[in-house]
Amino acid sequence: MDMFKILTRGASLKKSKDASFDFSNPNKTKQSKKSTTNIQKEVEKETDFFHQKKHNLLKQVEEAETNDEDPEENSDEDNREEDSETLQKITSEEDAMSLRKSYKGNVTGDDIPLPIGSFEDLISRFKLDKQLLKNLIDNDFTEPTPIQSEAIPSTLFDRDIIACAPTGSGKTLAFLIPLIQKVLQSKKHAKKKSTGGAVKGLVISPTKELALQIFNELNSLNTKLGLSVAYLNKSLSGKLRNGVVKGSKFDIVVSTPLRLIDLVKNGALDLSNVDHLIFDEADKLFDSNFIEQTDAILNACSNNKLRRSIFSATITSSVEELANSIMTSPIRIIIGHKEAANSNIKQKLVFCGDENGKLLAIRQLIQDGEFKPPVIIFLQSITRAKALFHELLYDRLNVDVIHAERTAKQREMIIERFRKGEIWCLICTDVLARGIDFKGINLVINYDVPLSAQAYVHRIGRTGRGGRTGSAVTFYTKEDVNLIKSVVNVMKQSGSTEGLAQWMNDLSKLSKNEKKNLKRKPMERKQISTVPGIVRKKRKMRKEMIVASKKRTIEDKTGKKESSQIETSE
Ligand SMILES: Nc1ncnc2c1ncn2[C@@H]1O[C@H](COP(=O)(O)OP(=O)(O)OP(=O)(O)O)[C@@H](O)[C@H]1O
């Protein structure tokens, strides 16, 4: 059957069994209150044809600029009040409490600043650079998300921060906006004192893909601001190492840990003037695989005025403890339930019997119209990701695969093609589980059960981002019974029950040791293939014969047989 037809058919709203709104027959629709609100929000977003909010905000920025130039002019309070009607002003603890209640925000620490109710607040309260606000508005960021409402003022008040908010809730801007503002201010200050340049802001991410994504976002917010920003890729690192480029030229650097440490050790990059250090996906950077590198970065950032922030959708108590030990009187911001899945994601568990059943389950999703591209599929190992890729290629699905064995260039290219919609289904290992922001992913499939609640939350968090909805399906077999407890717990906490069974309540979680062992040596699973072993063997033999025959032809043509080959053939 033509897979393209199946896929496009699956993308229709009417086809989906579980679509929360049947446009063809509204009376038939079973809608939860939550989905009504989501639909309303989406409709509101989509029908803001004239970008009213954007227009109002831009007008206010312009007014603020004119007022700066001539405070006598434009003193028409009535006008301004009218424009500000849509903006929420937070001026008291009561306002703050009710705002926090609305987004289930729990903020603790000493002297916590009031949250912001709008980006406009940043101009009146913090003299936010107007070009920066314009850049936000130009990028369609007209209202702060909850984590932005809280983390931006705290950072602007020079506080250390521990921030935990759901996947896709805007944590990147929550640290980039105040970082840019702070660095702009410190540059102005340095100019007055005519001191030289130095790296002032540093953002650390566990993967190259995420670092590049953060850098791109930083770059777009930096339009017309003139900060010098860098992502330490291979080429720039080389130039820094051999002195073609000076590290002190950059105001803000985004990097993965190893590359950065390498440059610091070589003396190519000096971090002793860094004022703001941000660890994104901090729980990953504080785990045993990264902790030595993280420690080295902390040591290199020796400025005693250094402010540190950690951000993630999952921050365990032990990570918090570690963070507390390196911070001074931090503000702890938790939006929603710590380590919970984003509430915009519909989750389900699917029992597949055995490994072969998983492939059939994918084909079933396609048949049922639930496989709505773009789709991401996660597997536990490179070998398995490759095997599934070949299997789905065989199905003529528009698919590609990303894992650690692909070059950085290949990975970048595939991501770009996936973002453009040229690839509909991306197969990957956990290398893409965290932070990567693909807009509009409809479905995440956990082909192999993730090893922890955190890994599950991040993987499924590739969908349901920026206020959109999405679905996540986790396959399991009888061998996975010991692994699914953490998935079951996250699902229960988010109120998702599809595929849950009574017996799952009695399951016990994996111990720390068991998890460690599984990380070191992933669970052995049967090879991915619906093709019987005998056919696979024949295919392999045929392939080998073709290779051998090609080789023989080349040898015949060139007449150059290597002596070793002659020896063996004889
Ligand atoms: N204020 C805003 N208004 C509208 N969209 C926003 C706003 N802030 C962020 N977004 C969008 O929301 C999406 C998710 O943001 P982001 O990647 O920062 O999420 P995150 O919280 O870091 O997620 P993760 O935990 O997976 O890393 C992005 O597409 C971003 O452009």
What is the ipTM for the molecules in this complex?
0.99
- Count how many residues are written for the chain: 570
Domain termination site, one of 312, 335, 358:
335
Residues 154 and 31 in one domain: no
Q: At what angle do helices 171-192 and 208-221 cross, to 10 degrees?
A: 60
In a domain, 55, yes or no: no
Residues 460 and 554 in one domain: no
The continuous run of DSSP H or E covering 62 comes out as helix 52-69
| 537 compared with 122, residue with greater pLDDT | 122
Residues 373 and 317 in one domain: no
Of the given ranges (20-24, 252-256, 432-436), which has the lowest mean pLDDT? Answer: 20-24
Which residue's alpha carbon is at the smallest distance from atom 25 of ligand 1? 167
Encode 246-297 in three state secondary structure.
Answer: CHHHCCEEEECHHHHHHHHHCCCCCCCCCCEEEEECHHHHCCCCCHHHHHHH
In a domain, 567, yes or no: no
Q: Beta-carbon neighbour count of residue 220 at 10 Å?
A: 13
Which residue among 145, 209, 280, 457 has the greatest number of ligand 1 atoms within 8 angstroms of its CB, and so is best to mutate? 145
- Give the residue from 235, 265, 236 showing the smallest Cα distance to 250: 236
Q: At what angle do helices 3-10 and 355-367 cross, to 10 degrees?
A: 70
Which residue among 121, 173, 203, 205 has the greatest number of ligand 1 atoms within 8 angstroms of its CB, and so is best to mutate? 173
User: Of all atoms in ligand 1, which is nearest to the CA of residue 165?
Assistant: 21
Say yes or no to pLDDT of 50 above 50: no
Which residue among 103, 137, 167, 169 has the greatest number of ligand 1 atoms within 8 angstroms of its CB, and so is best to mutate? 169
Q: What is the pLDDT of residue 515?
A: 77
Mean confidence (pLDDT) of the chain = 84
What is the 144 CA–ligand 1 centroid distance (Å)? Answer: 10
Say yes or no to pLDDT of 88 above 80: no
Which residue's alpha carbon is at the smallest distance from atom 8 of ligand 1? 170
pTM of the prediction? Answer: 0.81
Residues 355 and 459 in one domain: yes
User: Of all atoms in ligand 1, which is nearest to the CA of residue 213?
Assistant: 17
Which residue's alpha carbon is at the smallest distance from atom 14 of ligand 1? 168
Q: What is the pLDDT of residue 530?
A: 61
Which residue's alpha carbon is at the smallest distance from atom 16 of ligand 1? 170
In a domain, 74, yes or no: no
Using pLDDT thresholds of 50, 70 and 90, give the confidence band for residue 64.
Answer: low
Q: How far apart are CA 549 and CA 531, in angstroms?
A: 25
Q: What is the pLDDT of residue 36?
A: 47
Residues 331 and 465 in one domain: no
pLDDT digits (tens, 9 = 90+) for 117-128: 999 899 989 999
pLDDT digits (tens, 9 = 90+) for 90-101: 999 999 999 999
Using pLDDT thresholds of 50, 70 and 90, give the confidence band for residue 57.
Answer: low
Using pLDDT thresholds of 50, 70 and 90, give the confidence band for residue 2.
Answer: very low
In a domain, 143, yes or no: yes
Residues 357 and 308 in one domain: no
| 47 compared with 475, residue with greater pLDDT | 475
Q: What is the pLDDT of residue 524?
A: 83
Q: How far apart are CA 99 and CA 87, in angstroms?
A: 13
Residue 217 near residue 244, CB atoms below 8 Å: no
Sheet hosting strand 252-255, strand order edge to edge: 105-108, 331-335, 161-164, 307-312, 276-280, 201-204, 252-255, 229-231
Partners of 471 in beta bridges: 346, 443
Q: What is the mean pLDDT of residues 292-300?
A: 97
What is the 359 CA–ligand 1 centroid distance (Å)? Answer: 32
In a domain, 70, yes or no: no
Q: What is the pLDDT of residue 523?
A: 80
Residues 429 and 316 in one domain: no
Say yes or no to pLDDT of 71 above 50: no
Residues 186 and 96 in one domain: yes
Q: What is the mean pLDDT of residues 77-82?
A: 44
Residues 325 and 388 in one domain: no
* Pocket (CB within 6 angstroms of ligand 1): 141, 143-145, 148, 165, 167-173, 313, 435, 437, 439, 461, 465-466
Residues 252 and 327 in one domain: yes
pLDDT digits (tens, 9 = 90+) for 145-204: 999 999 999 999 999 999 999 999 999 999 999 999 999 999 888 776 666 689 999 999
In a domain, 136, yes or no: yes
Residues 224 and 353 in one domain: no
What is the 193 CA–ligand 1 centroid distance (Å)? Answer: 37
What is the 167 CA–ligand 1 centroid distance (Å)? Answer: 8
What is the 416 CA–ligand 1 centroid distance (Å)? Answer: 18
Q: Beta-carbon neighbour count of residue 255 at 10 Å?
A: 26
What is the 52 CA–ligand 1 centroid distance (Å)? Answer: 21
Domain extent, residue 248, equals 87-335
What is the 81 CA–ligand 1 centroid distance (Å)? Answer: 30
| 358 compared with 509, residue with greater pLDDT | 358
User: Per the structure, how many domains does the chain have?
Assistant: 4
In a domain, 375, yes or no: yes
What is the 173 CA–ligand 1 centroid distance (Å)? Answer: 7
In a domain, 71, yes or no: no
Residues 245 and 197 in one domain: yes
Say yes or no to pLDDT of 249 above 90: yes
Which CATH number covers residue 506? 3.40.50.300
